[in-house]
Amino acid sequence: MSQAATELIRISGHAGVVPGKGLNREFQVCKLVDTTTCIGCKACEVACLEWNGYTFSQTTFDNTYQTMPETAWNYWNLIKFNEHERADGTMMLLMRKDQCMHCADPGCLAACPADGAIVQYANGIVDFQEANCIGCGYCMTGCPFNIPKFDPPSRKVFKCTLCNDRVSVGLEPACIKACPTGCLHFGTKSEMKELAETRAAQLRNNSGFQDAGVYDPDGVGGTHVIYVLHDAKNPELYGGLPKNPRIPWSVRVWKAPLKWLGNVAMVGGIVGMALHYMRFGPKKEEPIPPNDDGRRV
């Protein structure tokens, strides 16, 4: 909400062009999460709650180091935990900081029908504007990462803002600030991508993780939160990170071909009926002829 409208590049449910698009200096921000140096301390979870003004929620103990099963409307940042047994019998404790990925091609925004409820800033941040949210939940259907969460009393949907309010005044996101191991980094997309690739190469060459790599999925146009994974071939191991996330095909069909087909059919139908009336006119009742054999009562 704090950035000027001239720094928007996409607006949900918006008829016409985005006002002022391209007027400002555009640089892409990015959060880098190095899962290989995360110790699962959850300082980022606390920092997120602190900055965004939410109280600590009820936690769920399920014999893991995970605070709750998934993120919540008022809990945007969650360390997903997985005890993974490798082929050689050794164990790995996989920790992944789960939050909004700030997709370059956001499914939530594509699915949203409410004008201005979801916006994408020129710096890549995808932000919900709750004042414009109508609570339909379509963003939850459009998101391939299970991120937007519904708050029943307010009937609004919430998610990580990538600390848009901090970033817009030159601060790094609260989670980055709190990380004690330095597994979280924040900078431009190109800088973070370079740093991530350097770290992945280090893991492959020096630490024996042959499949180490960077998670920046193309299916959603790349993301503004990227991961370094020990095993980039199996991202599902990291708390269900999808291998090839995409905007669901039914959302794509609904928002493009079906929309055009429907609009053409509706307008065509109305025009067709008008033409029919002009060509053939009304159906009028005819008098019953005197010799009609329908008996009267």
State the nearest-atom distance from the C-beta of 136 to other proteins, in Å: 5
Q: Which is nearer to other proteins, 13 or 20 (CB)?
A: 13
Of 103, 33, 38, 34, nearest in space to 66 by CA:
38
State the nearest-atom distance from the C-beta of 278 to other proteins, in Å: 11
Q: In what order do the strands lie in the sheet with 184-188?
A: 184-188, 29-34, 225-229, 213-215
Q: Which is nearer to other proteins, 201 or 265 (CB)?
A: 265
Contact range with other proteins by CB under 8 A, out of 18-26, 140-148, 179-187, 209-217: 140-148
Judged by CB under 8 A, does residue 25 bind other proteins? no
Residue 72's φ and ψ, nearest 5 degrees, are: -130, 170
Distance CA 12, CA 115 (A): 5
Among 140, 177, 188, 202, binds other proteins (CB under 8 A): 140
Residue 233 CA: distances (Å) to CA of 44, 206, 218, 229, 242: 26, 19, 14, 9, 11
Q: Which is nearer to other proteins, 24 or 137 (CB)?
A: 137
Distance CA 113, CA 124 (A): 21
43 Cα distance to chain centroid: 23
Among 135, 168, 191, 202, binds other proteins (CB under 8 A): 135
Question: Residue 213's beta-bridge partner residues?
Answer: 229
Tell the burial category of 57 from Cβ atoms under 10 Å away from its Cβ (0-12, 13-18, 19+): middle
**Residue 237, SS3 per DSSP:** helix
Q: Which is nearer to other proteins, 58 or 291 (CB)?
A: 291
Judged by CB under 8 A, does residue 284 bind other proteins? yes
State the nearest-atom distance from the C-beta of 271 to other proteins, in Å: 11
Distance CA 281, CA 222 (A): 57
Judged by CB under 8 A, does residue 273 bind other proteins? yes
State the nearest-atom distance from the C-beta of 91 to other proteins, in Å: 26
Judged by CB under 8 A, does residue 256 bind other proteins? no
Question: At 82, which helix (H) or strand (E)?
Answer: strand 78-85
Contact range with other proteins by CB under 8 A, out of 150-158, 174-182, 193-201, 218-226: 150-158
Q: In what order do the strands lie in the sheet with 118-121?
A: 8-11, 118-121, 126-128
State the nearest-atom distance from the C-beta of 101 to other proteins, in Å: 15
State the nearest-atom distance from the C-beta of 14 to other proteins, in Å: 5
State the nearest-atom distance from the C-beta of 40 to other proteins, in Å: 22
Judged by CB under 8 A, does residue 153 bind other proteins? no
Distance CA 72, CA 74 (A): 5
Binding interface with other proteins (CB under 8 A): 13-15, 70, 111, 113-115, 132-138, 140-141, 146, 149-150, 152, 155, 248-251, 253-254, 258-259, 261-263, 265-266, 269-270, 273, 276-277, 280-290, 292-297
